[in-house]
Amino acid sequence: MFGIIPRPIWERTNPADQANRIDMAARSVLIRDGKCTILIDAGIGTRWSDKSREIYRIGNQDPRLQQSLSRHGLSPDEIDHVVLTHLHFDHAGGLTYVDEEGNLQPTFPNATHWVQRRNWSWAHAPSARDGGSYRDDDFNFLEGADAPPLKLIDGIDEILPGIEVLPCHGHTFGMQIIKISCVDATYLFLADLIPTTSHLRDPYVMGYDLQPLKTVEEKREILYHAARQDWILLFEHDPSTAAGRVEFDERRRPRLCALEDSPDSYLDD
């Protein structure tokens, strides 16, 4: 998760267990504007073997998405749009489930699914280095005749009112971060560009990013605009901090500013 940063340094903020695993979240964002209901990313899903659950230490992720929707009085059938930052298994794994007959079913059958065209293409022919991060069963169902609608996006676009997608290519080709413009604030869902608050500074780049120097460049640009325009950053994988603002210290290093209000009012874990 921390690339070239030595473990004695990163472990100060992200302690590891005996198997070298750290705590991480798989956070989604739910948006309702009175006209439609939008979900950004779908988590890791339920289709995991016991071996994989042990490798990744998958805990209570299975019921969490359903529970979060239920707390808001929603079922998966009521989601109108699912916006995917990219198609890695920890972001798209929740798009499908296995029913009682053992058949693969779409979790959000009535939702339009949005993904960058470049990531859609890359997911179907990834490199040997990142092929394990893409699982065909997570997204191939969208090509079926009876599948929910699939919308492929080309570059920067406002796909829905107040929902803008900004492509980034350092982590994987065609990932998109999501800019959410509301009346009171602007939010930026960072996906794997800055997965946790520990990744704000330049050197903290994940070892499996395809283009690490591109990630550094993209982080600098996003954080510059976020600080100047007072955007609220949303962290998909941080186990304890869902959101915050950013400022730069006297050495021009980014640091997180806590929010005065609780993020629980607008975030779902």
Other CB atoms closer than 10 Å to residue 158's CB: what's the count?
A: 11
Which of the given ranges, 31-35, 214-218, 255-259, has the highest pLDDT on average?
Answer: 214-218
Grade residue 213 by pLDDT with cuts at 50, 70 and 90: very high
What is the mean predicted confidence (pLDDT) over 225-241? 96
- Give mean pLDDT, residues 195-213: 96
The percent of residues in the chain predicted with pLDDT above 90, rounded, is 79
Percentage of the chain lying above the pLDDT 70 cut: 95
Is the confidence at residue 11, as pLDDT, over 60?
yes
How many Å apart are CA 236 and CA 145, to the nearest integer?
32
Q: Note the pLDDT tens digit of each residue in 93-112.
A: 999 998 899 899 999 999 99
pLDDT digits (tens, 9 = 90+) for 119-166: 999 999 999 999 999 999 999 999 988 999 999 999 999 999 999 999
Mean pLDDT of 193-220: 96
pLDDT at res. 61: 55
| Coil, helix or strand at residue 87 | coil
Give pTM, 2 decimals.
0.92
User: Could you tell me the residue ranges of all domains in the chain?
Assistant: 7-265
Cβ within 8 Å of residue 154, ≥6 positions away: 116, 117
Could you give the CA distance from residue 26 to residue 1 in angstroms, rounded to a whole number?
A: 14
- Model confidence at 267, pLDDT cuts 50, 70, 90, reads very low
Q: pLDDT grade, residue 56 (50/70/90)?
A: confident
- 256 to each of 114, 178, 215, how far by Cα in Å? 30, 19, 19
What's the 3-state SS for 105-120? Answer: EECCCCCEEEEEHHHH
Structure tokens at 26: 């798989």
Average confidence (pLDDT) over 31-40: 93
Q: So what's the pLDDT on residue 239?
A: 93
Average pLDDT of the chain to the nearest whole number: 92
CATH number of 7-265: 3.60.15.10
pLDDT band at 62 (very low <50, low <70, confident <90, very high): low
